[in-house]
Chain A
Amino acid sequence: MGITFRKETFRDDFTFRNSPEHIRRFPFPFHEDSYMYAVNIEPHVVGPKGSVLENLIDVDEHYVAEMQDRAMVLAEDPLRCQSLPHMTLAGWDLLELLMEQQALGYPEHFTLTRDGDRWRWINRPLGIDDTFTFGDTSTLPYGPVEYITRQSQGDFCILDQRDGNLWMDAGMVTTQADWSLDFDIGMNFFEWHAPVPLAHEKGIFVRALKFLTNIQQGKPARRLNWTMTINPRLDTSPENYHKWGPDRATVTPENVGDKVHLRVELQSFWRLPRSNGIVFPIRCYLIKMDELVTQPKWARRLHRVIRDLPEELANYKGLTRYRPTLVEWLSKLDDGSPTSPGFGPD
């Protein structure tokens, strides 16, 4: 019973792999053979058994290794986890949410027991057994955001809602697709999305904000986003861009299958009960091309999506340098036959 956690790395020797079961459950983000921005938000409800939606906060075989990678990032750069002073209550809201969800979905790995404000949290995969007073930061080894997000896969943005806008006022961001919490903290929804091309003109952010500010407690929502990453590197931060950027120049026809990864973000949006804030977990899933193309439908579809992607989007996602090599490699796996509707493999 329970998950067998892999021993693997997301840096240096890059031993990260997906098991065959995890390839099948990968959240492939394209429901048709082309891609353009849309407000693709839907209710975050439990999905089929064996999918990444089986639990609303997903824990998978990469959990322990991801938490070890996060600890390394934080040791090098503590600015990846920040919280403006008015966000402490929202931090406790988040701690409660993640403890409840992980204990609910994975009772063999996590246990939460509550006696009034006296809480006991057992995290078996990481060997943690802590008793603390809910709401009293002095009883935890870190602030509530840092404490619980050192034990939860994915990045977390905690948004304050005021003046009809959402403000990025706290977060834990170590597995990001090239944006900086340290730079964007304190910005409103439109400001932190400012560098995204095309979507502002399409009114995407106005509609998305309207949706998000109306999220109700107990009714979370979700969307998928995607990009590509060379090597299974979680920390593709702008802070370290000068260190991982050269990877993009290393793609050759021979190593595409091993080096190029589709990176999918399962973003969910939750109203926090005490602070009325919103937490926005950004859960990152990686899959290398060799693994992805074991599902022929995905291989055909990804070829068509990447081939036809508008230049501006390809640039924004950082694909420009290796896109021709990738498209050529994928084209050999696309016989031109139709793909079935929907995300899943055939």
Chain B
Amino acid sequence: MAAKTIISRPIYGTLSPQPGKHHLFLADAEGALAITDMAARAPAGFFDGAEIVFIPGPEGKYVAALEALKPAQLHIAPSFASLLPRLKQTLTNAHMGLRLYLAGTEGLIGQAMQVALEAGIDHTSMQTEHRGSLARRMQCVHCKGITENVTTQPATCSHCGLLLLVRDHYSRRLAAFQGVCINAEDRSEIPPIEEAFP
């Protein structure tokens, strides 16, 4: 986390078991560990009413650890895009009292939150925990294209190619940080590109 931050930058917490009958978990990669850590503090039978949707990522780890929690449903998805229709359907049909838990990379948390917001769930009611990569999802303010998994500062827009300053300014609606041309005033100035969000 950056030492100095701004108010629009999301702050993540630690997952904790909430009262409720239905619990929906969404996690990617190391986000699974946030769920297993929480499980140690959860009351007996907590996962009987839980659905876990997990994107293991390329390394394919942690699936067994989640299976061991014996959730009512464990769904493994290859990517966020692939689970989107299912997630929208689940949230559309959800009843009052569904609790949402999001864990893993900022990109996963942000995109899942975006879908939940569209379904009318207030963002303050969602449990979030950041685990794993600090990579950012970035919207280019110029061409509006989204670049996924940005790890450098500055970063090149994957759509229009401008070199962008990755700001801390964050939009929940877009699930993205803002990228603004870093050398707009003099394109010959090329600042060093550093690994800022590993």
Structural contact, A194 and B8, CB atoms closer than 8 A: yes
Residues of A within 8 A of B70 (CB): none
Q: Please tell me if B194 contacts chain A, counting CB pairs below 8 Å.
A: no
Structural contact, B142 and A191, CB atoms closer than 8 A: no
- Compute how far the CA of A189 lies from the CA of B168 in the bound complex, rounded to whole angstroms: 16
Mask: chain B, 129-150; 1 = CB below 8 Å from A; 0 = not: 0000000000101101000000
Residues of A within 8 A of B174 (CB): 183
Q: What are 9 A-to-B residue pairs whose CB atoms are below 8 Å?
A: A182-B141, A185-B173, A195-B167, A200-B7, A238-B142, A241-B141, A246-B184, A246-B186, A249-B186
Residues of A within 8 A of B168 (CB): 194-195
Mask: chain A, 182-197; 1 = CB below 8 Å from B; 0 = not: 1111110011111100
Which range contains the number of A residues in contact with the other chain? Answer: 20 to 34
Residues of B within 8 A of A183 (CB): 139, 141, 169, 171, 174, 178
Q: Please tell me if A202 contacts chain B, counting CB pairs below 8 Å.
A: no
Structural contact, B9 and A194, CB atoms closer than 8 A: yes
Residues of B within 8 A of A248 (CB): 185
Which residue on B lies nearest to A248, using beta carbons? B185
Interface of chain B: mostly helix, strand, loop or mixed: loop
Q: Please tell me if A180 contacts chain B, counting CB pairs below 8 Å.
A: yes
How many Å from the CB of A20 to the closest CB on chain B?
33
Q: Please tell me if B181 contacts chain A, counting CB pairs below 8 Å.
A: yes
Q: Please tell me if B6 contacts chain A, counting CB pairs below 8 Å.
A: yes
Structural contact, B171 and A186, CB atoms closer than 8 A: yes
Residues of B within 8 A of A184 (CB): 171
Which residue on B lies nearest to A193, using beta carbons? B7
Residues of B within 8 A of A249 (CB): 185-186
Q: Which residues of B contact A (CB under 8 A)?
A: 6-9, 139, 141-142, 144, 162, 167-169, 171-174, 178, 180-181, 184-187
Q: Which of A155-187 contact B (CB under 8 A)?
A: 180, 182-187
Q: Please tell me if A321 contacts chain B, counting CB pairs below 8 Å.
A: yes
Residues of A within 8 A of B187 (CB): 246
Give me 14 other A-B pairs in contact (C-beta within 8 A), A183-B169, A187-B171 excluded: A183-B141, A185-B173, A190-B8, A191-B8, A193-B7, A194-B7, A194-B8, A195-B167, A238-B141, A238-B180, A241-B184, A242-B184, A245-B185, A248-B185
Q: Which of B7, B139, B167, B186 has the most CB of A within 10 A?
A: B7
Q: Which of B139, B169, B174, B181 has the most CB of A within 10 A?
A: B169
Structural contact, A186 and B172, CB atoms closer than 8 A: yes
Structural contact, A195 and B6, CB atoms closer than 8 A: yes
- Compute how far the CA of A186 lies from the CA of B122 in the bound complex, rounded to whole angstroms: 13
Residues of B within 8 A of A240 (CB): 142
Q: Please tell me if A333 contacts chain B, counting CB pairs below 8 Å.
A: no
Residues of A within 8 A of B7 (CB): 190-191, 193-194, 200
Mask: chain A, 231-246; 1 = CB below 8 Å from B; 0 = not: 0000000111110011
Q: Which of A226-269 contact B (CB under 8 A)?
A: 238-242, 245-246, 248-249
Which residue on A lies nearest to B173, using beta carbons? A186
Q: Please tell me if A79 contacts chain B, counting CB pairs below 8 Å.
A: yes
How many Å from the CB of A172 to the closest CB on chain B?
18
Residues of B within 8 A of A195 (CB): 6, 8, 167-169
Structural contact, B181 and A180, CB atoms closer than 8 A: no
Tell me which of A182, A192, A246 contacts B8 (CB under 8 A).
Answer: A192
Structural contact, B171 and A246, CB atoms closer than 8 A: no
Structural contact, A241 and B172, CB atoms closer than 8 A: no
Residues of B within 8 A of A191 (CB): 7-8
